[in-house]
Amino acid sequence: MKVAIIMGSDSDWPVLEPAVSQLNEFGIETEVLVASAHRTPDKVHHFVAGAKERGVQVFIAAAGAAAHLPGVIASFTTLPVIGIPVNATPLGGMDALLSIVQMPAGIPVATMAINGAKNAALFAAQILAVHDTGLADKLAAHRRTMAEEVEKKDERLAKKLTGQI
């Protein structure tokens, strides 16, 4: 299993790093690349065109501002593309969100929240888990862990409010 993660600029790495960490936790291999839809379109095309042969099954693409990278990737492949709008301008990422979410009919891009890399990784894992029961089990365990953490937080707050802490 492999997910390709492409960002328009190395300044997007702090946003995407949690996605790589999350995928690694599930044992999913990643390829990470900096490539611009506008400044290095041939690099993007070449990378996407050879993705299936390298074992890539899902793309995660992050971009700010005009945020064309996820859509350009989707235009070159039938593999799933998950777009992450990045807060990179004074518009707070809304420009990128609207650019990614408004893809034309026939070229879909699943769009996450602004800077929503962790959910992008989880969604990629869910796509891969459709045909991998071991991964599906890991995702279910992850959900149980999250639920347990919420219960612990609830207990701590209850103790604090009753003066037990």
Each residue's pLDDT expressed in tens, for the chain with a length of 165 residues: 999 999 999 999 999 999 999 999 999 999 999 999 999 999 999 999 999 999 999 999 999 998 999 999 999 999 999 999 999 999 999 999 999 999 999 999 999 999 999 999 999 999 999 999 999 999 999 999 999 999 999 999 999 999 887
Structure tokens at 14: 């702090």
As a whole number of Å, the end-to-end CA separation of the chain is 46
pTM of the model: 0.93
Residue pair 46/53 in contact (Cβ under 8 Å)? The answer is no
- Taking Cα atoms as reference points, which of 140, 93, 131 lies closest to residue 112? 93
Q: In a 3-state reduction of DSSP, which class is residue 1?
A: coil
Structure tokens at 155: 């207990």
CB count within 10 Å of CB 96 equals: 30
